[in-house]
Amino acid sequence: MRRIGVAVVVAAIGLVLAAPQAAAATVDFAGSLNVDGCSGSLVRMPTSADDDKAFVLTNGHCYEGPGPVPDEVLVNKPSQRVATVLDAAGNGVGLVQAVKAVYVTMTGTDISLYQLDLSYRQLERKFHVRPLTVSAKRPSTGTDIRVVSGGLKKIFSCNVDQLTYRVLETGYVTKDVLRYTSACQTGPGSSGSPVVDTATGEVIGINNTSNRDGGQCTVNNPCEMDRDGVISVHKGIAYGTQTYWLTTCITRGNRLDLGRPGCLLPQPAR
């Protein structure tokens, strides 16, 4: 048997131990939005092209029109919603205006997806910011996240504590919800903030609600329901709506196709 020198073995072990790890993404305010009392972000899908008309993402309960009632889905509604674009430091660098609300609901999820009259290429030239990419993957428990509030100009740091089966708030039910660890004490003004995975820099959710007073299933006091129907309350805990569902229903050209096979977004009533 051939002998390997001790120095060679030690050197080899040293190379393994010194192998570089993937650097975490830098998470700042670039691409985030102040949406008149809410937060939001400029986003693109994995299939988006630079010349596609850009998307703005916030909560369904931040929609400027009459709020959608339970089981209601709004599609392609005219809109003139205005939002302030922030740079990396959180400074406002200009305004964008939507031309339509592509998709709005508070059923199963809590999403308002707007489309602008500007393309991603035009946005970058005008404001020197790039949109965030919506992840196509379902997030995992333990993920290190940042909740970036353009409305509050504050970034919250925590982890995904668990994926909650159902969250109930008055008559609304959201599904497969991100529950944060207690370090993310979000509140008014943070609704619609992108939830960013620090490992990838991609959006895995949007901040939705938090239990402020310990109430059970009431306004600003959401409760949880497990698969057996058992209700629990977690005072001070905040939640985010998942966003990968969007990627299953947006086709090339940033077109919404709710009839696409595998589309997970709730459907409008027929």
CATH number at residue 185: 2.40.10
Q: For residues 8 and 151, give the distance between their C-alpha atoms in angstroms, rounded to a whole number.
A: 57
Boundary (domain end) residue, out of 132, 161, 180: 132
The residue from 68, 102, 132 where one domain ends is 132
Question: Are 127 and 157 contained in the same domain?
Answer: no
Same-domain status, 106 and 150: no
For residue 28, give the 3-state DSSP assignment.
coil
Co-location of 187 and 95 in the same domain = no
Instruction: Look at residues 132, 161, 194 and tell me which one is the last residue of a structural domain.
Output: 132
Mark out the alpha helices in the chain (DSSP H runs): 6-17, 120-127, 244-247
Q: Does residue 88 share a domain with residue 176?
A: no
- What's the pLDDT tens digit per position in 161-202? 999 999 999 999 999 999 999 999 999 999 999 999 999 999
Query: Is 78 inside a domain boundary?
Result: yes
Q: Which residue has the higher pLDDT, 15 or 259?
A: 259
Q: How far apart are CA 122 and CA 13, in angstroms?
A: 50
Q: Residue 178 contacts by C-beta under 8 Å, 6 or more apart in sequence?
A: 139, 145, 160, 163, 164, 195, 204, 205, 239, 240, 241, 242
Alpha-carbon span 256 to 118, nearest angstrom: 17
CA-nearest of 28, 42, 24, 23 to 206 is 42
At 121, phi and psi to the nearest 5?
-65, -45
My answer on whether 121 and 155 are in the same domain is: no
One-letter amino acid at 228 equals: D
Residue 15 forms part of a structural domain: no
Whether residue 5 has pLDDT greater than 60: no
pLDDT of residue 244 exceeding 60: yes
Same domain assignment for residues 89 and 162? no
131, 135, 138, 175: which is closest to 160 by C-alpha?
138
Q: For residue 263, tell me if it sits in a domain.
A: no
Same domain, 107 and 192: no
Separation of alpha carbons 207 and 242, rounded Å: 9
Q: Are residues 171 and 228 in the same domain?
A: yes
Residue 16, pLDDT > 70, answer no
Q: Is residue 174 part of a domain?
A: yes
Whether 120 and 59 map to the same domain: the answer is yes
Q: Does any domain span residue 207?
A: yes
Kindly report, residue by residue over 115-155, the tens digit of the pLDDT. Answer: 999 999 999 999 999 999 999 999 999 999 999 999 999 99
Residue 228 maps to a domain: yes
Residue 4 lies in a domain: no
pLDDT-above-90 percentage for the chain = 89
Q: Is residue 261 part of a domain?
A: no
Band of the pLDDT at 23, cuts 50, 70, 90? low
Q: How many independent structural domains does the chain possess?
A: 2
Q: pTM of the full predicted structure?
A: 0.90
Instruction: State the residue range of the domain holding 90.
Output: 32-132
